Chain A
């Protein structure tokens, strides 16, 4: 090219921009604009949907004093932490099992079978588990087979003490395969000779797990944990489909709480304010993830 260095650099810069411009415009249109709308709406009172009135920070002060909001927040945190912990433990166990020196065909078959729950649409997962947790369902059938007759009377989703746990079980069932797949991919990159050397030194299974496997997978585990935290924190589908937040709000999580205000009570201002609070928590979690992935690139 005949251009001098300055122009060349300028052209280069412009070329780079033009490559990301379509994506940037889409992002602005589909993310930034709705976000801007939500922020504006959160300052308005929507009692009359046609003529919202400016309400200052009233929507924000409202949710701080609503006990149901705090209950939803606590339920969301329980749901998230327990779901992530259990899907990690189960995913890790299966990944370790699949990583054994086994027939490759055997491994391929089991990997496909175990990935099934993750491929299943959430409406299907909800329907399956609602049938199983039904008072006349499979779970109570097994319980009564083993003689636990009083326990077999439980309406798992209709009891405020068991409903949230039941949904978490369904959620873990659906989300552990993703963990398993990612961890298995990580496990396969760990050089075999590390284990051989450790074995020669007399390291047992747990020592190998603790000193070789987990440190080698540190980055994958952190990335997975952050992603799963974000995904579970904003979960909506299983809870809404299986209990709708009931009984007696015992499974109300932030997303169903917001849904209730936005689409049932048509209180868009309040729902927006609560949604923004939820967004802030997620942004904090995402920043952690973004920082992690940037430091990895360096």
Chain B
């Protein structure tokens, strides 16, 4: 397990991925809609793109609790776009009026406009990617890692990537991986050297070229590998130019557990058991208890 250094646990961010919107070019053309840039445009486009008779939807509704990975990029960006924050000074602050607004927008998409695939409580990322590659849905919120996945799932799919639609502000969330030293490591000197190298622009470029990951180091992002790629350049752009970019995963002590709890509360809200405020309050108090340990 991790040891604290002066009351904190440290890690070196290695990979990163902010969330953008993938869209199916053929479906958008067919419905004669432009790539949406705001919430209103997104709702309008989605309504036009949804046709349940033909199993066609705008978005995959995915809020499965196992694995609970989807909330970070299916739900939290809405809160950020509504003007809210997820974390501030090591505390969960998403139970704000903006948080409520973000969840209400999601509720509108699922329950009012019904533009998402049914069965949202048991669908996850796998379903999301399958639906998108099969052309069942027009949009997908996904990170840079999804580019390779889509190309493998359906090489013939003509898709584009655009920044997430803007609400009160433009915003996205980030998740990625960090490297850390263990207190029981045998050769800490060598491990630290490796960590330093992996944090550097050069190290991350080698790693990303080999694995298709996206860097955390903004210098690495300047490389033509990212800058000139029609897909990846969108992520560089949104990472640098969004009104708010929230890095979440890196700060969670027990990310899977916290995400699961958050997912459960979102489900409680969407099924009408709790109000948005109650659900967010309960999730926030659970998060803060874990963050305060």
By a beta-carbon cutoff of 8 Å, the part of chain A in contact with chain B is: 47-50, 134-136, 153, 155, 157-160, 163, 240, 243-249, 260, 264-266
Of the candidates A49, A135, A245, the one having the most CB atoms from chain B within 10 angstroms of its own CB is A135
> Which secondary structure dominates chain B's binding surface?
loop
Contact of B257 among A136, A155, A160, A265 (CB under 8 A): A265
Q: Which residues of A contact B66 (CB under 8 A)?
A: 240, 243-246
Given contacts A248-B267, A248-B273, A264-B257, are A158 and B121 in contact (CB under 8 A)? Answer: yes
Q: Does B268 touch A at the CB level, under 8 Å?
A: yes
Inter-subunit contact B271/A248 (CB<8 Å): yes
Q: Which residues of B contact A246 (CB under 8 A)?
A: 64-66, 121-122, 263-264, 267
Q: Does B55 touch A at the CB level, under 8 Å?
A: yes
Measured CB to CB, the closest approach of chain A to B213, in angstroms, equals: 25
Q: Does B186 touch A at the CB level, under 8 Å?
A: no
Inter-subunit contact A157/B122 (CB<8 Å): yes
A-B contact count (CB 8 A): 67
| Residue ID in chain A nearest B131 by CB atoms | A136
A247 to B260, CA, bound (A): 11
Q: A159-B121, A246-B64 are in contact. List 14 more A-B contacts (CB 8 A).
A: A49-B1, A50-B183, A155-B118, A155-B121, A157-B119, A157-B122, A160-B121, A160-B271, A243-B122, A244-B64, A247-B64, A247-B267, A264-B256, A264-B257
One digit per residue, 1 when the CB lies within 8 angstroms of any chain A CB and 0 when it does not, for chain B 276-288 equals 0000000000000
Inter-subunit contact B264/A249 (CB<8 Å): yes
Q: Which residues of B contact A249 (CB under 8 A)?
A: 264
Q: Which residues of A contact B264 (CB under 8 A)?
A: 246, 248-249
Measured CB to CB, the closest approach of chain A to B40, in angstroms, equals: 28
Q: Which residues of A contact B268 (CB under 8 A)?
A: 248
Cross-chain pairs A/B with CB under 8 angstroms, 29 sampled? A47-B293, A48-B1, A50-B183, A134-B119, A135-B119, A155-B119, A155-B121, A155-B122, A160-B121, A160-B271, A243-B122, A244-B66, A245-B65, A245-B66, A246-B64, A246-B66, A246-B122, A246-B264, A246-B267, A247-B65, A247-B122, A248-B264, A248-B268, A248-B271, A249-B264, A264-B256, A264-B260, A265-B257, A266-B254
By a beta-carbon cutoff of 8 Å, the part of chain B in contact with chain A is: 1, 55, 64-67, 117-123, 183, 254, 256-257, 260, 263-264, 267-268, 271, 273, 293
Q: Which residues of B contact A247 (CB under 8 A)?
A: 64-65, 121-122, 267, 271
A159 to B183, CA, bound (A): 45
| Residue ID in chain B nearest A243 by CB atoms | B122
Q: Which residues of A contact B121 (CB under 8 A)?
A: 155, 158-160, 246-248
Measured CB to CB, the closest approach of chain B to A80, in angstroms, equals: 21
Q: Across chains A and B, which 6 residue pairs bring their CB atoms closest together, nearest first?
A: A244-B66, A155-B119, A158-B122, A247-B121, A246-B65, A158-B119
Inter-subunit contact A163/B65 (CB<8 Å): no
Contact of B123 among A47, A158, A260, A266 (CB under 8 A): A158
Contact of A155 among B120, B256, B273 (CB under 8 A): B120
Inter-subunit contact A136/B55 (CB<8 Å): yes
Q: Which residues of B contact A158 (CB under 8 A)?
A: 118-123
Q: Which residues of B contact A264 (CB under 8 A)?
A: 254, 256-257, 260
